[in-house]
């Protein structure tokens, strides 16, 4: 490739701005993290194991992922966490969806 003379070099830079304020998302993730669902799942599993209901109805069962995977809070699969906590309590349940 031929060398360019210093007075022939053109440079351009662009900011690829997301176009949105992410503060509400960051705030929401911080609030979700603060609720510590894995800890809450253990408490809920203990309550379920103690009461031994025939049926448990669950609402708002979230599966938060980052880059298509679960991991540290808040990126958790709430159902998997609860099912694991139930098994640890010796009260395994099956999940059914309708």
pLDDT reported for residue 2 = 62
- Which of these, 28, 44, 53, lies nearest to 78 by C-alpha position? 44
pLDDT beyond 60 at 1: no
- 57 contacts 98 by C-beta, under 8 angstroms: no
Mark out the alpha helices in the chain (DSSP H runs): 23-35, 37-51, 78-88
User: What digits encode the pLDDT tens for the residues 39-75?
Assistant: 999 999 999 999 999 999 999 999 999 999 999 989 9
Q: How far apart are CA 32 and CA 44, in angstroms?
A: 17
pLDDT above 80 (res 3): no
Rounded to an integer, what distance in angstroms lies between the CA atom of residue 44 and that of residue 39?
9
Length of the chain: 98
């Amino acid at each position: 490739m031929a060398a360019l003379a210093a007075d022939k070099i053109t440079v351009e830079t662009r900011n690829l701005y997301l176009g949105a304020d992410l503060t509400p998302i960051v705030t929401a993730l911080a609030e979700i993290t603060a609720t510590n669902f894995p800890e809450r799942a253990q408490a809920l599993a203990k309550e379920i194991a103690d009461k031994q209901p025939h049926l448990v109805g669950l609402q708002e069962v979230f599966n938060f992922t980052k880059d298509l995977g679960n991991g540290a809070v808040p990126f958790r699969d709430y159902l998997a966490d609860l099912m694991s906590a139930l098994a640890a309590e010796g009260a395994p349940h099956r999940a059914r969806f309708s």
